[in-house]
Amino acid sequence: MNTKNHVNILPEVSRRSFLKGGLALTGASVLGGGALAGSALAASVSEKTGKSSKWVKSYCGSCIWANCGTEIKVVDGVAVEIRGNKEHPSNKGTLCPRGAAQLMNLYNPYRIKAPMKRTNPQKGLDVDPGWVEISWEEAMDTITEKIKEAQAKDPRKLMKMYGFAGNLHETPFVKLFTSIFDTPNYSMSCGPLCEVHHAPAMFNATFVDRIDVGHCNYLIAFGRNLGGSAMFASGPGRALSDAVDRGMKVVVVDPHATPDASKGEWIPIRPGTDTAMAMAMLHVILHELNTFDVDAMKNRSNAPYLIDEQGDYVRDQVSNKPLLWDEADNKAKAYDDPTLTNPALLGEYNVNGVSAVPAFVKLRESVATSTPEWAEEISSVPAEEIRRITQELVEAACIGSTITIDGVEFPYRPVAVTTGRGSANNMQGMRFYILTNIINLVLGAIGVPGSLVCAANARYLFEDGMMREYPIAYYTTDREEKFSIPQNDYTIKQFYPLSRFPILGGTMGAILDPQKYYLDYDIEVFFPYGANPFINDADFETTVKAFQKIPFVFTLAYHMDETTMFCDIVLPECSHLERYQNRPIEETMVVGRDTIALNGLNYKEPAVDLIYNTRQYDDIILELADRLGLTPKLNAIYNSFYRLSGEFSLDPGKKYTYQEMLEIRLKGFSGDASKGVEYFREHGFLMKNKPLKECYEYYFFKGNGRLPIYNWRDFSAGKALKRSLDKFGVKVPGWDNMDEVMREYTPVPKWFDNYLTNPSDEFDMTVANWKLSPRNLGLGGQDDNVWLREIVETWEYDGLNIQINPITAAQKGLKTGDKVIVESQHGGTVEGILQVTNLIHPEVLGFPAQAGRVSQFMNPISHKGPNYNRLLTYKEGYILADNGSISVSARVKIRKAGVK
Amino acid sequence: MRYGMILDLKRCYGCNACTVICKQKNGTPKGVFWAKVYATEVGKYPQARREYLPTLCMHCANAPCVSVCPTGASYKREDGIVLVDESKCIGCRSCMLSCPYEARYFDFGAEASYFPGKEANPYEVAQASKRKKGTVNKCTLCVDRIDEGEIPACAQVCPTQARIFGDLESTELQKLIISRNGYQEKSVVGTDPSVYYLPR
């Protein structure tokens, strides 16, 4: 493989430029920069030392949103420094601690240095695989043979897994693997703990919604990182800081006081009870204040859609279009009737002999009794606090006012109620996320300046006059048509029609007992890549058994992590500073005025020659495809994925290297033959920013599609599922009470007691978990990065300790430094050191980040601290019934270690 | 001309990007932090919150480390930057005792590698010449970068732009300090630090 470094070494250039006395300020600061950037191709040979030195343009690979442009200083072939690229509009020369630490990821002696095969057939987390080094040829021969053998019997016997392990899934061939290699089977180690995509799809036509803090004045965040708590340097941290400087009020509702909360107000809450509090907020808005955006309700939502007694839309008998009641002439009309003037929000009507009410009535009724006093009992948030912040929110919403952007008049609603994983990945979490968006919509604050908005490149579909949730793959009618017994695939998604990701617990259960899951074939070859369900997810014991059962497992890995312990062959992977790659620039989560419109492409190539005998994932895929005769298919899929055509597209009949494919991809993106690899090598990125007006989806929705205050689609998905299960006479493992399953599909907010809120046994506390700046998703090798670990243990306030409130600690006779054992209601236990702090709810034990790695082949520094996920479960019956995710919380009890 | 830094506590989220980039750019050994962020909590539940205090060497105008140094190893440049000339340092550590800000570290012969039992990696080998056993080290305000027309690594890296580098005698920085009630840490000790804090 070609490992040559393509960065030009130019003749010596003088870069010395001394500061003059008059140059007062060069900080990348609020007062503006003035610093002299190193030129893109700057390379020089030092007069003093005779060493060659250059700065290589790259982008960061230490988190899921690889937006940040970087520069790597290479002296005599050694990377000695990384800094942010000052010309890059995302990070503007800055970095987060994870990005700043990446040299120790590149030069980590615990990396895998050559292909390995196991000699010990026994597999386990504590079993020595007896690794022996083999050649690339032997490794690839074996893998190819195994895939061929299995797929000759049934192509579905090959399964892929990925998700948030040591390395970043930045490559296109992670997503494209299943279509290239013709199997429906994939799994994700991160999926069950990432339930944050459904509501953004429904309300913003987007995968991850973004808070427009450039305009927002009042922001309520439930269990969500706003960009400062777990720092994102590409823009969220800066945007949040700018907004707080400008005077934006931040209210953080969370079991623990985050760094973001410390810049505003902290409202502590019991985990898993957010739905009760949000229902009380909606109660205050609709029943106490009776103040909402009437225009948004009548014209931008399905509030006027008529609902019959079964909960369905009342439809026109001929056109099948949903009907509304026009108060102007007291007639039922289709949503797109040109004579529709004044849709009714209240009242009861008789249409086609059916009694019906506007959806708005259903919504109001659903929160009629959910008073703040009721919610206080459940959530522990004082009723007067719920009233106060709701009133402040409504007042700050500026209902009725407008703002003009790019010549387009938008509603101006500078408020947002936002949801993150801490709240959404919990009991009724999907409903909760939708509920907070209903609150936004009731105030008109969605898709408009100051509110929660779409990410770049959202696509819009409309159906029944409603915006249809584009990124959700499986849904109602399509799902019912495709429902099959035996099941076609191991994702188990057909039992969870609202799931975004495969159901890990279901997949592992199905591997162990296919019949129980209505499957009539086994998985024979398994390729986990960038996946670590043993650490990143619950119930590792079950996962161990499933991995042990699959006859052939192989991976490509950066270090010998827990997943490699179950592999027959391990291929060594390039670190992300040794790869050729590209990645879209799309600012995420929190956007400011300088980042909302950013849209572009980052590029990188190896900053240094390969340190070990490693290859990158893309090369492996190209070779495997070639060996299996799939190159033409791969090329065609690549073209369609990147929408490449004509001059800038792959010839399906030709075999390319990944660098050649990147050249075509870059030209396809820029649409310019002169802007290929060479251009990107010099600059590191290319921007094609969005017009500002297109950053607010109101621009696309208005007059085309409404948003749901009444969730007819999810409600229908539940009914379709029930029909399918009844038709085939199927019982999903763990579903003993179908009423409890079906109630999750409620079209309006509803509260249910659950295993987190009904403490009826000895488990008297709940646990919560959050990201840290030096350790967020674990991507980019954060657990064994020596600098990041030192920071976590030395300077990070939360560290690796278990947090407890002083009131509770006193009651239990516990103190800071005590070694404790925490036992979960699901059976898992973890051990850790206690830290008494006022930053946590008295009924909650706090677990910052994630630790406690167990692979004996990783740097021992990664073994310290508790592994939080051991307290959780993906067992049958505990998987969240509508979406297949699992709760990030559990009830637990705590005791001093050594004391029974 | 007086180089210094203004640290905006309202914009600091305690992420420690400065702590890491300082280690990376300057190649400091394990346990040595020329830049760092002290994190504390204040208040009782539920009115509790986090506070952060990012730090570096204060490059004091009246630097006690310079006046106590018996050999002239600790010295102050005309632009206000306080440095240590390793070739003159005899390792007496008087400067460390005199520093009110715990900004100085002594090199007892630090391990060559961050990875116990492993040889220094290529990056660490490249950084090795920056260390000298038996001498005192500290933040140089990235004088090498300043002399090349750049700003200190911690000021560039800060994702919330809480670290503002420049000439403290300039009108812009003076204005910023005054308008935001900027203050110096432990000003009572009279060292006149070149690092100002803007309260939250």
Residue A861 inside a domain? The answer is yes
Confidence of residue A16 (pLDDT cuts 50, 70, 90): very low
The vertex-A770 CA angle with A768 and A774, nearest 5°, equals 150
Domain containing residue A306: CATH number: 3.40.228.10
A295: in domain = yes
Pick from B17, B116, B171: CB nearest A231:
B17
Cα A400 to chain centroid distance, Å, stands at 34
Terminus-to-terminus CA distance in chain B, angstroms?
A: 28
- Taking an 8 Å cut-off on Cβ atoms, the answer to whether B39 and A80 are in contact is no
Tell if the pTM clears 0.90, that is, is over it.
Answer: yes
pLDDT at A239: 98
Residues of the domain holding A546: 116-194+474-576
How far does CA A240 lie from the centroid of its chain?
Answer: 19
Chain A positions touching B8 (Cβ under 8 A) are: 30
On chain B, the residues whose CB falls within 8 A of the CB of A611 are 122
* Mean pLDDT confidence for A595-618: 97
Q: Please give the average per-residue pLDDT across A533-555, as a whole number.
A: 96
Number of domains composing chain B: 1
CA–CA gap between residue A603 and residue A662 (Å, rounded)? 9
Q: How far is A93 from chain B (nearest CA, A)?
A: 6
For residue A840, give the chain B residue with the closest CA. Answer: B45
Who wins on pLDDT, A759 or A30? A759
pLDDT at residue B132 in the model: 94
Give mean pLDDT, residues A154-158. 98
How many angstroms separate the first and last alpha carbons of chain A?
59
A542 and A407, same structural domain? no
Higher pLDDT, A6 or A58: A58
- B49 to A257: CB separation less than 8 angstroms, yes or no: yes
- Angle ∠(A510,A514,A519) on CA atoms, nearest 5: 105
Identify whether residues A449 and A500 lie together within a single domain: no
Q: Considering the domain boundaries, does residue A775 fall inside one? A: yes
Residue A518 sits in a domain of what CATH number?
A: 3.40.50.740
Domain boundary among A670, A691, A711: A711
Report the CATH number that the domain containing residue B131 is assigned in CATH: 3.30.70.20
Is the Cβ–Cβ distance between A256 and A844 less than 8 Å?
yes
Q: Is B19 on the interface with A (CB under 8 A)?
A: yes
For residues A825 and A891, the answer to whether their CB atoms sit within 8 Å is: yes
Q: Could you tell me if the ipTM is greater than 0.85?
A: yes
Residue A900, pLDDT score: 62
Task: Say if residue B189 is exposed, middle or buried (CB neighbours under 10 Å; 0-12, 13-18, 19+).
Answer: middle
Smallest CA–CA distance, residue A132 to chain B, in Å, is: 21
pLDDT of amino acid A189: 87
Q: Which residue out of A262, A270, A590, A612 would a mutagenesis test of the B interface target, given it has the greatest number of B Cβ atoms within 10 Å?
A: A262
Residue B86 identity: E
**Residue A726, pLDDT above cutoff 70:** yes
Calculate how close chain B gets to A445, using CA atoms only, in Å: 27
Same domain, A162 and A222: no
Interval A636-694: pLDDT, tens:
999 999 999 999 999 999 999 999 999 999 999 999 999 999 999 999 999 999 999 99
For an interface test with B, the pick among A26, A30, A267 (most B C-beta atoms closer than 10 Å) comes out as A26
Say which residue, A461 or A169, is predicted with more confidence: A461
| Residue whose C-alpha is closest to residue A511's, from A496, A529, A498, A528 | A528
Beta-strand ranges (E) seen in A736-827 are: 765-770, 802-804, 819-824
Q: Are residues A309 and A448 in the same domain?
A: yes
Q: Is B78 on the interface with A (CB under 8 A)?
A: no
Q: DSSP state, A119?
A: S
What is the arithmetic mean of pLDDT over A92-120? 97
Shortest Cα–Cα distance, A655 to chain B (Å) = 36
Out of A165-169, A436-440, A528-532, which region has the weakest mean confidence (pLDDT)?
A165-169
A294 pLDDT more than 70: yes
Residue A4 lies in a domain: no
Q: What is the DSSP string of B55-120?
A: E-----TT-HHHHH-SSS-EEE-TTS-EEE-TTT-----HHHHH-TT--EEE-S---S-SSTTSPP
Q: Which range is least confidently modeled, A196-200, A393-397, B50-54, B75-79?
A: A196-200
Do A545 and A507 touch, CB atoms closer than 8 A? Answer: no
Q: Which residues of chain B have pLDDT under 70?
A: none
What lies within 8 Å, CB to CB, of B57 at 6+ separation is B34, B82, B101, B103, B104, B138, B139, B140, B141
A811: domain CATH number is 2.40.40.20
CA A745 vs. chain centroid, Å, equals 23
Examine the domain organization and report whether A205 and A178 are in the same domain. Answer: no
Residue in A86, A95, A110 closest to B159 by CB:
A95
Residue A53 resides in a domain? no
Closest CA relative to residue A223, chosen from A264, A191, A260? A260
Q: Residue A715: pLDDT above 80?
A: yes
Please state the rounded mean pLDDT for residues A159-173: 83
In this structure, the answer to whether residues A170 and A213 fall within a common structural domain is no
A61 domain residue, yes or no: no
Of A548, A576, A604, the position where a domain reaches its end is A576
User: What CA–CA distance (Å, rounded) separates A108 from A785?
Assistant: 8
- At residue A65, does pLDDT exceed 90? no
Residues spanned by the domain of B70: 3-198
Q: Reply yes or no on whether the pLDDT at A40 is more than 50.
A: no
Mark whether A255 and A179 lie in a shared domain.
Answer: no
- The answer to whether A786 and A559 have CB atoms below 8 angstroms apart is no
Kindly determine whether residue A28 and residue B156, on different chains, have CB atoms separated by under 8 Å: yes
Q: Is A452 in the same domain as A360?
A: yes
Task: Mark B18-50 as b/e (b = at least 16 C-beta within 10 Å).
Answer: bbbbbbbbbbbbeebbbbbbebebeeebbebbb
* Cβ separation A24–B45 shorter than 8 A: no
What share of chain A in percent tops pLDDT 90?
84
Residue of A nearest to B155 (CA): A27
pLDDT tens digits, A211-235: 999 999 999 999 999 999 999 999 9
The answer to whether residue A321 is domain-embedded is: yes
pLDDT at A2: 35
Q: How many domains does chain A have?
A: 3
Residues A500 and A402 in one domain: no
- What SS3 class is residue A293? coil
Nearest to A410 by CA among A446, A461, A454, A455: A446
Stretch 79-118 of chain B: residues touching chain A, C-beta under 8 Å: 114-116, 118
Q: pLDDT band at residue A30, thresholds of 50, 70 and 90?
A: very low
- Whether residue A254 lies inside any domain: the answer is yes
C-beta of residue B161 within 8 angstroms of C-beta of residue A238: yes
Spatial separation of the C-alpha atoms in residues A632 and A618, rounded to whole Å? 16
Is pLDDT at A36 greater than 80 in this prediction?
no
Do residues A516 and A570 both lie within one domain? yes
Distance from CA of A20 to the nearest CA of B (A): 9
Under the banding of pLDDT at 50, 70 and 90, the label for residue A166 is: low
Q: What is the DSSP string of A325-370?
A: EETTTTEEEETT-TT---B-SSS-EEETTEEEEEHHHHHHHHTSS-
What would the two tokens of residue A223 be?
């269990």
- The DSSP line for A200-256 is HHHHHSSSS-EEETTT-SEEEEES---STTTT-TTTHHHHHHHHHHHT-EEEEESSB
Nearest CA in chain B to A81: B25
Residues A252 and A369 occupy one common structural domain: yes
Nearest-Cα residue of chain A relative to residue B168: A24
Mean pLDDT within A293-310: 97
- Mean model confidence pLDDT for chain A: 91
Q: How far is CA A19 from CA A391, A848, B3, B57, B80, in A?
A: 53, 44, 11, 21, 14
Residues A423, A283, single domain; the answer is: yes
Is residue A37 very low, low, confident or very high in pLDDT (cuts 50, 70, 90)? very low
Name the token pair of A485.
């017994």
pLDDT of residue A614: 97
> Of A521, A544, A576, at which residue does a domain stop?
A576
From the list A18, A30, A838, which residue is nearest B48 (CB)? A838
Give yes or no for residue A25 having a pLDDT over 50: no
